[in-house]
Amino acid sequence: MSPHTNEQSSSHDDNDMTTSLGGLALHSEAGAPHVAGNGRHGNVTGGHCNKGFSASYSNTKSNTNGNFDCTERPLLAGVYAPTPAFFDPSTEELDIPTIRKHAVRLAQGGIVGLVTQGSNGEAVHLSHAERRIVTAATREALDDAGFRGVPVIVGCGAQSTRETIELCHDALVSGGDYAMILPPSYYKTLYTAQSQYDFFVTVASESPIPILIYNYPGAVSGIDLDSDVVTKLSKHPNIVGCKLTCGNTGKLGRVANAAPSGFMTLGGSSDFTLQTLIAGGKGVIAGLVNIAPRACVDVFNLYAAGRMEEAEKMQAVVGRGDWGAIKGGVVGTKSCLQSYFGYGGFGRAPLPRPSPEKAAEYLADFEELLLLEEFLNSGSREEDIHYDKKNEFSQLVELERMLV
């Protein structure tokens, strides 16, 4: 599988905000730019404006104004990265240069797609305007670096059907290719199985871009969509995949084998990449990719090449590293990026800022994985095997010897 200046956003009222970013006009809901042209997906009709929304919203994408192109960016089997939103450590304003730099680093590591406004992207800490800016900056950075074919999936979950659809439109005008949707959860005790099903059907029918179902019980008060519901939803022409962060590989296998051909059943964590592929899934969307994209991608590549022994051993190293990411969440991920790569900063308040001692602890959790990433980036050469770490990481050294 082929791999594929600190700028700050101004603070304005979201109802009249217009931000220009590299030629992308990003307007608020009250003034969203009209986008017209040929439909990008056969099941979405051109020229349709959703009932109840401003006529400035359209289901189609155009290149007539020079801002967006109509290139199809299919979802490919492989590894996807849910990118963090980066902030200035003093002001907490968006750090656009770091957002751009990180997106390109991930693409250079071989990922096949990026996700903005996922759990790692602190979507719950962003205004609608900031969400659009992050997605647009990511799309622009990929295009400028020659990764025009890498799709951008945008987290668009919200508590109401109406706002979720609104965010899907925002994703489109910001350069997003797909929307990823969590089920609503605030009124959990009042929802029925049918109301959750109807939510996804309505959003999919009204969204101008295809959607993926995001099943992450930990983020939605324990709501866990079962394989029957996901399989039934997979039949909708505008629902093209799912991310299963529940970790239930039995469910994943049932969905992967019952959904229509081409449906992207994706695992939601790097620690079960190999298990996902064996069960019939197409890949993963995993936060650990932000730290070690090449190692995460190589688990997929080794499996695809039929090199199962190496794939299993690399999965073991990746899985141990992912435990650090699971424990530390976005705080630990950003801390590692800052300690090891020199960028990353902190999450927005009220997320805690780790002490120097805690930052060292986070970095130690990723040490073995970072050594593997270093080895892979150097070309997997004999002279780069970490023999000096054999006592601490004997399995790592064994894997590196196999990869030379």
Where in the sequence numbering do the catalytic residues fall? 243
Residue 257: how many other CB atoms lie within 10 Å: 13
Place of tokens 């022994």: 309
Pairing type for strands 178-181 and 152-155 reads parallel
Gap between the Cα atoms of 280 and 266, Å rounded: 9
Please check whether residue 255 is in contact with residue 235, taking contact to mean a CB–CB distance below 8 angstroms: no
- Exposed, middle or buried, 161 (CB in 10 Å: 0-12/13-18/19+)? middle
Place of tokens 């109401």: 160
Cα distances (Å, whole numbers) of residue 200 to 92, 95, 119, 152, 184 = 33, 33, 19, 20, 10
Residue 193: how many other CB atoms lie within 10 Å: 11
Cα distances (Å, whole numbers) of residue 226 to 175, 214, 231, 233 = 31, 12, 9, 11
CA angle 382, 391, 294 (to 5 degrees): 50
